[in-house]
Structure 1
Amino acid sequence: MARQPIVLNGKEFKFQKNAKEYFKQMLERYRNGQTVDTDDHEMLLALIERHLEADKKIGCGVKCFYKDRTDMPTSCFWIERKDGSKTDFSYLTAIAARGKSLYQEFVEACRNAVQDDLKKIKEQFFKKYADETGKVKCDITGEKVAIYETHLDHKKPLTFQVLVNTFLAANEVEIKPEMLSMSQDGQFQTTFLDIELKEKFKRYHYKMADLRIIKTELNLSLGGSERILKSKNPVIIPKELFDD
């Protein structure tokens, strides 16, 4: 069966990638806090109808669309409803017309559970090992890099997703919606509602993770063919984080 084009407000996109580029460029045209103009408003109104949570996002009706920041270093489209309430929405999710799977939501909750501690661990590593210019060596290239140029990498074979999968298997966890936060206005990341499970994953992660500092662009380019070598300067997780 041939893939159907996406038609929004009379404009046809043959492939999803074309629609993604169109709305990416639209978002980039606005500054944070700026309301979109009439033509873009009509396109976004058509787009939001594709969202799996369209009824919830639209609520009592759309007053306007605008661009603003998320709780991460990114921006997205927001809706101000007619009653003054506001919510974010992802144009990528709306274009795809599907949301994250329950498994993907669980992985996101796991990342969210450890991200604050990992940020502190990275800062402590730089404080201890950085040279007089504030730089340490990338574990792969040996190049000196500053903290803002780096990623705290979960070294293969224990990638973050592998840690999540082995945690699920070892603890015979069956993922259920009630374990996780439900989608709500302004919520950009899924979190654990089951605090005991959250703490259990955190302890498991800290015991098992093999961390290293690498250049950010290397994190994006590493493929399955990467050789598994011992880290030159592993990032040690403080023992108190995983003591029972």
Structure 2
Amino acid sequence: MAKPIRLSNGKCWKTQGAALEHFRKMLARYGDNCLVDDHDDHADLIALIERYDTVESDGPPKMGVGISRFERRLNRGAGFTSPGFWILRTDGSITDFSYVSAVRGVPKTLSEEFYDACRNAIGPELLATKQRYFKEFSDVEGRLPCDLTDMPLIYSEAELSHAVPSFGKIVADFKASQGWDASIPLGVLTQSADAQISTSFIDPAISAAFRTFHHARAVLRIVATKRDPNGPPLKTTLVRRPIILQ
């Protein structure tokens, strides 16, 4: 049976999915850098932060000394941007938070944090590679064929995807190569902090080691960010051209 999601302000949803949809729609109602000025939305986010702070016990509480207001801002990470809610506290400090993590009520495991650190280590290179391939290989209309369906894609419709091995497999193999398959030592990953969008490796040498490990194994392809279920069938070939990370 689905467990209802209850907040301290009395709001309740029958399922986790319904609560996530509520906050997804809330985020979509606001533009980037806009204040969350609806009273009910503000109250829901305050209650959600209270829930978040009971879940994420390994970092500083997001509530801090007190919350003045919320804004929608763009989170900028290693090779990605995504909208999210940000907290502006009464002492002038700011931080981001994940409404998804708050609703789900389960903090990320160390393995998930390690995966994020690996993704951040190669994020800028993946972005630069995608930009380079569209510049070098796209047609006069700026399109590249999807390596899985042959459908022409413009830059915003495409992403670099790992074929075989998967990115998760590469991450697992790297962890094992470091002798960390049983546990990840303290001091390897950054700890939770204000305005830290995602986990990274503390030591740049580990980031460099993962990039080298990844370069030797990754097989990348251009695919559609969102696949049309009524579109052409998937092909069996992995990639149309070698995609080289530089």
* TM-score exceeds 0.5: yes
Higher helix share: 1
Q: Map Cα deviations across residues 153-178 of structure 1 (whole Å, 9 max, x no partner).
A: 1112x111011111122332342342
Aligned residues: 231
Question: What's 2:169 paired with?
Answer: 162
Write the letter of the residue equivalent to 2:74: R
Residue 230 of structure 1 and its aligned partner are, at CA, apart by 4.4
1:227 to partner: Cα distance: 7.5
CA distance in 1 between counterparts of 2:3 and 2:127 reads 43
Which residue in 1 is equivalent to 2:153? 145
Task: Report Cα offsets for 1:100-136 as digits up to 9, x if no partner.
Answer: 1111111111011111112222222223222233222
Q: Deviations over 1:180-237 (max 9, x none)?
A: 111222221211102222111110100111111122224x98xxxx876342212123
* Corresponding residue number in structure 1 for 2:118: 110
- 1:69 aligned counterpart, secondary structure: strand
Looking at both structures, which has the greater relative contact order when contacts are Cα pairs under 8 Å and sequence separation is at least 6?
2
| Displacement of 1:30 | 2.3
Whether the aligned pair in 2 keeps the contact of 1:152 and 1:214 (CA below 8 Å) is yes
Aligned pairs (5 A) from 1:120-139: 120-139=128-147
Equivalent residues in 2 for 1:1-244, closer than 5 Å: 4-8=3-7, 9-32=9-32, 33-51=34-52, 52-53=55-56, 56-71=61-76, 72-156=80-164, 158-173=165-180, 174-218=183-227, 229-238=237-246
8 A Cα contact 1:36 1:67, kept in partner: no
Distance 1:40 1:16 in 2: 18
TM score, norm. by length of structure 2 = 0.84
Alpha-carbon offset, residue 4 of structure 1: 4.5
Contact kept in structure 2, 1:180 and 1:190, CA below 8 Å: yes
Q: Which moved more, 1:90-99 or 1:137-146?
A: 137-146
Equivalent pairs: percent with the same residue? Answer: 37
Cα distance, 1:75 vs structure 2: 1.8
Q: Could you state the TM-score of these two structures normalised by the residue count of structure 1?
A: 0.85
> Which amino acid counterpart does residue 41 of structure 2 have in structure 1?
D
CA distance in 1, matches of 2:87, 2:162: 36
Q: Contact conserved, 2:221 with 2:238, CA < 8 A, in 1? A: no
Query: RMSD across aligned C-alpha pairs, in angstroms?
Result: 2.2
Q: Partner amino acid for 1:27?
A: L
CA gap 1:10/1:230 in 2 versus in 1, 3 angstroms: closer
Change (3 A) 1:44 1:204: same
List runs of 5+ in structure 1 lacking aligned partners. Answer: 239-244
Partner Cα separation in structure 2 for residue 177 and residue 228 of structure 1: 42
Distance, in Å, in 1 between the alignment partners of 2:178 and 2:93 is 41
State whether residues 66 and 78 of structure 1, in contact with CA within 8 Å, keep that contact through their aligned partners in structure 2: yes
CA distance in 2, matches of 1:40, 1:127: 43
Return closer, same or farther for 1:48/1:172 CA change in 2, 3 Å cut-off: same
TM-superposed CA distance for 1:37, in Å, is 2.5
Q: Does the CA-based 8 Å contact 1:79-1:86 persist in structure 2?
A: yes
Q: Describe the superposition over 1:14-63 as per-residue Cα deviations: whole angstroms up to 9, x where unpaired.
A: 21111111122222222332133222222221111111237611111112
Give the match's secondary structure for 1:109. Answer: helix
| 3-state secondary structure, aligned to 2:81 | coil
